[in-house]
Structure 1
Amino acid sequence: MGISTDTIKKVANVIYNELGIVVDSNNERILGSKISTFLLRKRITEQELLSKLTDRNFFKELISIITVNETYFFREKEHIDLLVKLIKKNRSVRARILSLPCSTGEEPLSILMACLEAGVKIDNIDIIGVDVDENAIAIAKDGVYSYRSVSKVPESLKAKYFVSINGAYKVREDLIRKVSYRVGNIFDKSFLRSLGMFDFIFCRNLLIYFDRVKREEALKNISLIHKTGGYLFISKTETLLGLNVPYKREFIDGIIVYKRL
């Protein structure tokens, strides 16, 4: 099913306004293919799609085919190792950690496992995982992962924190319950404020999808719930240089992090 250029551009505009994601000319064909798949699944026409774009519940369904949930446990592990080190330096303080976007849960669970392996008491950390995709959050709450997702997990940790089920790997229930998952949007300030304040924020592999305007807006939004002196972790392929945001770049153990001013 070929999707018209007009439909693709209208959907792309809604995606930008709601999610901040820029769909450039290079990605319009990919978006068109995703829209086509969505229409076949829903058994609706292009016209019906366009008429429903302002329906919040309908758009939530559309999000699941737009967002990218390709991730795995212990991705860019040096960030997680540094986080654990910073937490252990200040053992007397209960650390609140936000993973946004948390995708299907690999990142917050990796953080939790690393903390436990380093001897951090489970009651001394609060981990919140947030993603705009309801389907991703449902997978995170279920806690069942493919071999690819756990490929970077050492065998000793697989044996300790996972149960093998029909070729898949299920995280221990007590660990799943320790992470609080929420469906939410980084551009929704009232939602973010409802989460409370955080010491550490992981916002990796999200900013690359935004233009400068949306990057600054997103970062200013999360700064509202980031304690002064707290640390922000972004992907190695991302940078805050040149952006007007309340963060200062620092090098700790050779790793770039951003300190909340």
Structure 2
Amino acid sequence: MSDITRPAEAPDISISPGELQKVTAWIYRWTGMTFGEGKRYYIERRIAERIGKTGCRDTRAYLLLLGSDPKERQLLTNAFTINETYFYREEHQFAALANEILPAIITTKRPGDLIRIWSVPCSTGDEAYSIALWLLENWPLVDAYNVEIVGSDIDTKAVEAALAGRFAARALQRLPEKLLTAYFEPEHGHRRKIIDDLRESVRFTAANLFDAASLADLGRFDVIFCRNLLIYFDDASRLIAADNLHDRLVPGGYLCLGHSESMARISDRFDLVRLSDAIVYRRA
């Protein structure tokens, strides 16, 4: 997990079942994320934290604010996101990227051509930076092509952290010491900051995979990493997300999902591709 500040103690706020249902319905409508009864404590705590920070006198007043203030809707959305990530997570997919996906992609490109890779959700940037690191270290042709890496997340606070490029030891624990020395600068305690050249090689932006309009300006990508997001969706929102992923891929582009996710059960718009290092999907 990346360096995440422990939330403050939630105030003692009464939230009725109806109010709770209204908030979760809004979250679903805005993000596609579903939260069942088993997440009740998690949901109540985050709503109570936001109520305390806004100074609203009760849940009813907060709901009125939430219905009229887009900024507060974003802050509540940030509170509901789960930023579980670290460098070189599921690195077998990075191996597949360098060993088989990119070699297949460049058969239709010339040296110097643009190759676009999208990490969504990017959380605090660990995955997007991992892609850049892996290619620098493991793809001999990285300098022969114009590789653009974009990281996007619905959580604007996470995007700010990604832009800053500062990480705690836990986020970096899978990286070899030689990479830590080459690409990170020591800071106070066990924290490290990614070097400017690498930080500036990745572009970060806020985006909502559940909202096609928020994705339009991103253009299309040759490869998309969308790992461990669809597990928070129901069947209907998974299909919407799948369609949006399809639209953001170039024809023949590749999609990498999390190890517990399968596009085969969601959409028939992708072909399953078995590679030596990973199972991925390709826009049909």
Q: TM-score range by the shorter chain?
A: over 0.9
CA contact (8 A) 1:109 1:176 kept: yes
Of the three residues 141, 145, 162, the one matched with 1:140 is 162
Quick check: 1:21 aligned with 2:33? yes
Quick check: 1:218 aligned with 2:233? no
Equivalences for residues 175-194 of structure 1 within 5 A: 175-194=198-217
Quick check: 1:99 aligned with 2:119? yes
Paired with 1:254 and 1:35, the residues of 2 have a C-alpha distance of 42
CA contact (8 A) 1:130 1:182 kept: yes
SS for the counterpart of 2:200 is helix
- Structure 1, residues 99-120: CA drift from partner, whole Å, max 9, x if none? 1100000000000000111231
CA contact (8 A) 1:94 1:124 kept: yes
CA contact (8 A) 1:232 1:259 kept: yes
What is the aligned partner in structure 1 of residue 272 from structure 2? 249
SS for the counterpart of 1:149 is helix
What is the aligned partner in structure 1 of residue 221 from structure 2? 198
CA contact (8 A) 2:86 2:127 kept: yes
Paired with 1:164 and 1:209, the residues of 2 have a C-alpha distance of 35
Quick check: 1:173 aligned with 2:186? no
C-alpha change, 1:122 and 1:110, in structure 2 (3 Å) is farther
Deviation at 1:228, TM superposition (A): 1.2
Q: Give the aligned length.
A: 261
TM-score (norm 1): 0.95
C-alpha change, 1:77 and 1:28, in structure 2 (3 Å) is same
Paired with 1:52 and 1:42, the residues of 2 have a C-alpha distance of 9
TM-score (norm 2): 0.88
How large is the RMSD of aligned CA atoms in angstroms? 1.5
Deviation at 1:242, TM superposition (A): 2.6
Unaligned runs of 5+ in 1: none
Equivalences for residues 221-232 of structure 1 within 5 A: 221-232=244-255
What is the aligned partner in structure 2 of residue 4 from structure 1? 16
